Structure 1
Amino acid sequence: MPELPLPYADTYTEPPVVDRIGNTGAGVALGCRALGLRVTLVDLIGDDPQGALIRDHLTPPGVDFRHAVTAAGTRRSVLLVGPDGRRTSLFIPRAVPGERLPRRDLYLPALRVADTNGAGDAFVSGFLYGRSLGKCVRLGAVAGAHACTVPGTHEDPIRLDALLRA
Structure 2
Amino acid sequence: MSTETDVLVLGGAGVDTIVYVPELPLPFADGYTVPRIETRAGQTGDFVAVGVSALGLRTHHLDMIGDDHHGDLVRTLHRDRGIALTEVPLPGGTKRAVNLVGPDGRRLSLYDDTRSHEADRLPEEKVRALASVSRHAHVSITYPCSFALPVLREAGMTISTDLHNWDGVNPYHEPFAHQADLVFVSTTALADPERTMRQIVERGRARTVVATAGADGAFLLTDGELTHIPPVAPPGPVVDSNGAGDAFASGFLFGWLAGEPPQRCGRYGAIAGAYACTVPGTRMDAISRDELLAREAELAKAPAAQRPGGAEPAGAGA
- TM-score of the superposed pair, with normalisation by structure 2: 0.38
The answer to which of 74-83 and 18-27 deviates more is: 18-27
Residue of structure 1 in register with 2:123 after alignment: 102
Contact 1:46-1:73 at 8 Å conserved across structures: yes
Task: Give the Å deviation of 1:76.
Answer: 0.7
In the other structure, the counterpart of 1:55 is 75
In structure 1, distance between residues paired with 2:75 and 2:68: 11
Mapped partners of 1:135, 1:17: distance in 2: 40
Q: CA deviation at 1:16?
A: 4.5
What are the Cα deviations for residues 107-156 of structure 1, in whole angstroms up to 9, with x where unaligned? 22111332641312134599549xxx964249x9xxxxxxxxxxxxxxxx
Task: Name the counterpart of 2:207.
Answer: 122
Tell me, yes or no, if structure 1 residue 136 matches structure 2 residue 198. no
Alpha-carbon shift at residue 9 of structure 1 (Å): 1.0
In the TM superposition, residue 13 of structure 1 has moved relative to its aligned partner by 2.6
- Give the Cα separation in 1 of the matches to 2:222 and 2:85: 29
Mean CA deviation greater in 110-119 or 88-97 = 110-119
Moved over 6 A (4+): none
Match among 112, 117, 133 for residue 92 of structure 1? 112
Instruction: Specify the code of the residue in structure 2 equivalent to 1:99.
Output: D
Look at both structures and tell me which one has the larger radius of gyration over its CA atoms.
Answer: 1
Distance in 1, matches of 2:106 and 2:122, equals: 33
8 A contact 2:65–2:87 mirrored in 1: yes
Matching residue of 1:164: none
The percentage of counterpart residues that share the same residue type is 39
* Structure 1: 5+ residue stretches without partners: 141-166
Q: Which residue of 1 aligns with 2:90?
A: 70
Please report how far the alpha carbon of residue 20 of structure 1 lies from its aligned counterpart in structure 2 after TM superposition: 1.7
**Residue 7 of structure 1 pairs with residue 27 of structure 2:** yes
What is the aligned-residue RMSD (CA, Å)?
Answer: 2.7
Deviation at 1:61, TM superposition (A): 2.4
| 1:3-22 alpha-carbon deviations (Å, 9 max, x no partner) | 11111112223244211223
| Structure 2 unmatched runs, 5+ | 1-20, 133-151, 160-178, 183-205, 210-219, 225-254, 266-318
